[in-house]
Each structure stands twice: as C-alpha cells, then as structure tokens.
Amino acid sequence: MLNLDIFSKAGHSSWALYKPLDTLFDCGEGFTLLSGQQFSMKRIFISHDHLDHTMGLPSLLKNRNYGKGDNSKPLEVYHPEGRLRDIIGFINQIFPERERKFKLNFIPLAPGDEVPLGKNKSIKAFRTIHNNFLSLGYVVTEKRSCLRDEYKGWDIAQLIRDGLEPKDLSTYYFSKTLAYTLDAYDFDWANVAGSEYLIADCTFINKEDRRPNAKNHYGFWEVHELAVQNQIKNLIAAHISERYSFEHVSEVVGKFSGLKVSIVNNQKINHF
C-alpha cells in the first residue's frame, strides 16, 4: 500500500500526506483534521500559491507550535521560486519568528531542483502548466538494488558459496515511487513516466467541460490517455470538481479497463 492520506476538491482544498517520508504535498485547509500528523511531518512541498493549496499553512503551523505533541522538530516548506511571497509575509505577521518553538524554513525551488532525502531517496521538482505562472510538480525517486542481468536464473546461494560477494551480484535502478501533479493543465510527461503512483489533476471529466482557451486543469480522459502512453502503474485522480458526484465519476471511470485508477472522493479524507 502507498500509505497516503489525501483530501482534494477543486477550488476548495487539496493536500496529500505521504507517510513513509513524513512529507506533505500542498497544504489546503483541513489538514489538521488528521490529528497528530502535524507533529511528525518533516517537510511540505507546495505546488503553487492558489489558496486551495496553501491556506491550511497558518492553522498547521499554529497547531504544531501550540498543540499537544512534539513541537521541536524543524519544518521545511518548499515552494516555486518567487511564487509564495504574499503568503510567507502573512505567515510572518501572524506567526512571527519569536513565537516559534520549531525552526521554520521556506525554501524556493526551480524546475529541475532535487531535494535529497537520506541516502537513497529524493524529491525532484518539475515545471507544470497552470495558467501562465510557475507551478511545480514533484516526483519521489528511490534508488533500489536488483540482481544483475547476467545472474538472472542462476542459483544465487550457490554463487555466494562459490565465493561471489552479494555486492558483485547486484546493481541498482531508480524507481519513481510517487508523482504529484496538482494543479496542471500540461507538463512534460517524461518527468513522471513509469511512476508507480501518479496523483493527477482531473478537475474535469471531459476536456470539453473546461472553459474554451483555459490552460489550468486537465480532464480525466486526457490524463488517462497520457497515463497509458507513459506507463503509469496506478493513477490517482484528484482535484475533482464539485460539479460531479463521486458515484458519477466512479461510473464513468468504471466503463473502461487498461489502467488501475483510484478516484479521490472530494467529500472526505481518502487513504490509499
């Protein structure tokens, strides 16, 4: 299981907590309903400054500072460079440095920047198209070891008895564990190709539901086609507009096969 908690409703609020890395993607309102998680989290990656992706920050920070729990851990908030100035200014006013029991760092990222997490993992930022300003998608990458091709089908225990070291038998590859692309109308899919899980903007069902000439959100069928082309293993359809009921989206999505799809119900916190 992915071990992800996500709430996402277009224009209202979006956030996704990836528990294996204590990492939050976006911080719309309502995150603190997940009691206790505000203390364990280590970092937040903000996609863009729209309020449905950022307005949970003030309550999260205050809650982490004054709530009952470990409020000493530093917190890093990564964001698209030049795109969070007003919100950081507001936070500095309502939650000034002298009040803080933990170290709070805002760190700007440009497309292509990579944040290392320990020895084998990293989160890389890439450009997504959402109107005409910089927004970022993120991809979690893990370095994993595997058996070298030349030893596949051999008796490994025997090879080790014959004197080969385990390190001689293995090589490594990079796996895209999770990609996060809210909100986006378009991006270079090479950044997410082959991902085990992709959280994608499916605000609309059909692209015709989008306003003509708008370049802000995908329709589900556009994402589906691109996800198949780019060998996404599990698609998590999120940021769904309130105009569609969960039952309606489930019925539409249930009509085809070819890709494993989960739908984020925009009426509750979902666990995947």
Decide if residue 9 touches Zn ion (CB under 5 A): no
DSSP code at position 38: H
Backbone phi and psi for residue 53, each to the nearest 5 degrees, phi listed first: -115, 0
Please pick, from the candidates 183, 191, 219, 270, the single residue that binds Zn ion as defined by CB under 5 A: 183
Q: Minimum distance between the CB of residue 119 and Zn ion, rounded to whole angstroms?
A: 34
Pairing of β 104-109 and β 197-201: unpaired
- Angle (CA) 35-41-42 rounded to 5° is 165
CB nearer Zn ion, residue 52 or residue 142 = 52
CB nearer Zn ion, residue 29 or residue 183 = 183
Decide if residue 201 touches Zn ion (CB under 5 A): no
Please pick, from the candidates 29, 52, 142, 222, the single residue that binds Zn ion as defined by CB under 5 A: 52
Q: Minimum distance between the CB of residue 7 and Zn ion, rounded to whole angstroms?
A: 12
Beta partners for residue 124, in sequence order? 114, 139
72 to 111: interface string for Zn ion, x by CB under 5 A:
----------------------------------------
Query: CB neighbours (10 Å) of residue 202?
Result: 30
> In this chain, which residue has its C-beta nearest to Zn ion?
50
Q: Minimum distance between the CB of residue 250 and Zn ion, rounded to whole angstroms?
A: 21
Pairing of β 23-25 and β 13-18: antiparallel
Give the total of residues touching Zn ion (CB under 5 A): 3
Closest CA to 77 of 52, 58, 94: 58
Q: How far is CA 55 from CA 49, 106, 213, in A?
A: 9, 15, 28
Stretch that binds Zn ion, among 29-37, 45-53, 146-154, 251-259 (CB under 5 A): 45-53
Residues 6+ away with beta carbon under 8 Å from 7: 13, 14, 15, 16, 28, 30, 31, 264, 266, 268, 269, 270
Per-residue H/E/C for 58-121:
HHHHHHHHHCCCCCCCCEEEEEECCCCHHHHHHHHHHCCHHHCCCCEEEEEECCCCEEEECCCE
Q: Which two tokens stand for residue 184?
A: 């986006």
Please pick, from the candidates 16, 37, 44, 50, the single residue that binds Zn ion as defined by CB under 5 A: 50
Stretch that binds Zn ion, among 55-63, 72-80, 176-184, 219-227 (CB under 5 A): 176-184
Stretch that binds Zn ion, among 33-41, 141-149, 177-185, 258-266 (CB under 5 A): 177-185
CB nearer Zn ion, residue 132 or residue 158 = 132
CB nearer Zn ion, residue 160 or residue 214 = 214
CB nearer Zn ion, residue 142 or residue 201 = 201
Q: Minimum distance between the CB of residue 26 and Zn ion, rounded to whole angstroms?
A: 8
Q: Which residues bind Zn ion (CB under 5 A)?
A: 50, 52, 183
